[in-house]
Amino acid sequence: MLRLEAQSPDGFLCNVFDLDSDGFVEVLREQAAMAPAKEAVRLLAGGALHRREPVSCGFQ
């Protein structure tokens, strides 16, 4: 029987990181290299990446 479970975006990313941390970091680096610097500045200035609380993924 297939069991599906809803996850928050942060929880999903933490689980992906737990399953394949090297692959996760590689994908982040590839995406960061493709993102124009202006887009990153726009996202940061607009608060799109603002967090209400930190996510630790089990790290201290």
Tens-place pLDDT, residues 7-32? 988 889 899 999 999 999 999 888 88
> Contact at 8 Å (CB) between 55 and 14?
yes
Task: Let me know: does 57 contact 14? Beta carbons within 8 Å.
Answer: yes
Q: How confident is the model at residue 53 (pLDDT cuts 50, 70, 90)?
A: low
pTM above 0.75, yes or no: no
